[in-house]
Structure 1
């Protein structure tokens, strides 16, 4: 559930070249805060797909060796990130497996984002990256998904209602994504060094 400062009607924008720039900055801040806890920091969600319309909210996945809640919540709280308390922000079923996760909101007044901590190699980690890579690769799917999101935002601007309608549609999209993965031999992208924040001047 969004915090009070995040409540606003859903607005879907055309793709913004600023989104990957904002991701790089946020990823650097997160890496500096988490240190060795962060194996890899991925840009995920619709803002990670060039050409795709999206809400102006950057989704970030931090791959970790294990969910260590007290430590990870403390490290991110030190830079103002707020752990979302709802059960669906602490776990999810992916690939028939119950997976732990932690989701964080940005500091009050900061750039809108969601930070998802997931265990390296778990199905929910794979799911987020397959969603991204499929939509990057398939122009028709990308165009149709963007058009669906624009229509949904126009007719259902309430954030929570919008999300409840979009969730089953996403599952349908992911059936096509799995077929694409099987046909192309797609594999989970390997971990890469997490970006560093630029020096403070």
Structure 2
């Protein structure tokens, strides 16, 4: 989520109540089941949306073998128009998703979630973009993932940063994400250089 970590910005982008995280981030060592969880979730999304799925990718730390992560499957979904929520959100709600984030100022990003506490088999963040609006951001996200998959030094650096930051307490999980941004940008710069 590109929203800055200010409480007002977080509240403005959040659908429903913005609940403080108020605990330490829990990271797990890489779990070889994570790609299978993604594959099952991707099949459900494709079944629900059909031809509206323009692109579907496993992103985030659970998509990188050997990298510690919060046990949340991050998925990038590209649809023709994220602002046409009636075209895709009801179908996603039908398979257990809840719209949680709406960011019109950041590529019209939407984030839907599924959570274990609500009956899902695992936690999922489904990040929805439109290629027409967010082509550059989509490619940045995938370049970052691919860099971590193929460069041991960058993966180890990111892993160490995450583990150090996870030792702190955060009011909102977005604050933890924001704290990683300098490291992410440094790795991203290397990824985009080729």
Same fold, judged at TM 0.5 (above): yes
Closer/same/farther in 2, CA of residues 168 and 69 from structure 1, 3 Å limit? farther
Closer/same/farther in 2, CA of residues 65 and 153 from structure 1, 3 Å limit? same
Q: Per-residue deviation at 1:12?
A: 1.2
Aligned position for 1:148: 161
Contact 2:100 2:112 in 1 (8 A): yes
Gaps of 5+ in 1: 93-98, 182-201
Aligned position for 1:115: 126
Contact 1:82 1:106 in 2 (8 A): yes
1:170 maps to which of 181, 184, 191: 184
2:138 maps to which of 115, 118, 125: 125
Closer/same/farther in 2, CA of residues 5 and 31 from structure 1, 3 Å limit? farther
Q: Per-residue deviation at 1:163?
A: 2.0
Specify the SS of the correspondent of 2:125: strand
Q: CA RMSD in A?
A: 2.3
Indicate the structure whose relative CO is greater, using CA pairs within 8 Å and at least 6 residues apart. Answer: 1
Cα deviation per residue 1:169-194 (whole Å; 9 max; x = unaligned)? Answer: 32232112212x2xxxxxxxxxxxxx
Q: Per-residue deviation at 1:4?
A: 7.3
Count how many residue pairs are aligned between Structure 1 and Structure 2.
Answer: 172
Q: Hey, which bits of structure 1, 4+ residues long, moved more than 4 A?
A: 1-8
Aligned position for 1:81: 97
Contact 2:158 2:183 in 1 (8 A): no
Aligned position for 1:25: 40
